[in-house]
Amino acid sequence: MKIEFLYWEGCPSHPEALALLREVLGERGISDAVELREVLTHEEAVELAFPGSPTIRIDGRDVDPPGAEWPPGLSCRVYRLSDGRASPVPSRQQLEEALS
């Protein structure tokens, strides 16, 4: 399984998202390494189709497919939760569904 964690250092929510991802992986007994990648430039964001920080992809698929369609750029990402609220990190449910 390929687990990618892309982030922009200017976004304060990426440490929380990484901790949640590692917690969910641990609970599921998944020991695959998380590939961390800091996105440094707008050009790199475009090249990586990076819709904001943090972005988590499992086997190339974004954990929040609708959010993956936002324009690329160096910004903080907004995740839409199942109840319609906005969050700076994905929900546990989004991560678990992506890992299923």
Q: What is the pLDDT of residue 73?
A: 94
Alpha carbon distance 75, 32 (integer Å)? 27
This prediction's pTM: 0.93
Report the distance separating Cα 17 and Cα 23, nearest Å: 10
| Confidence at residue 81, expressed as pLDDT on a 0 to 100 scale | 86
Predicted local distance difference test score (pLDDT) of residue 46: 97
Q: What pLDDT shows up at residue 39? A: 97
Mean pLDDT in runs of 10 for the chain (100 residues)?
96 96 95 94 96 96 93 94 91 93
Q: What is the pLDDT of residue 44?
A: 96
Strand 34-38, strand 79-80: pairing: unpaired
Q: Which of 47, 54, 46 is nearest to 72 (CA)?
A: 46
Domains and CATH numbers, the chain: 3-99 (3.40.30)
> What is the pLDDT at residue 82?
85
Ramachandran angles phi, psi of 68, nearest 5°: -65, -15
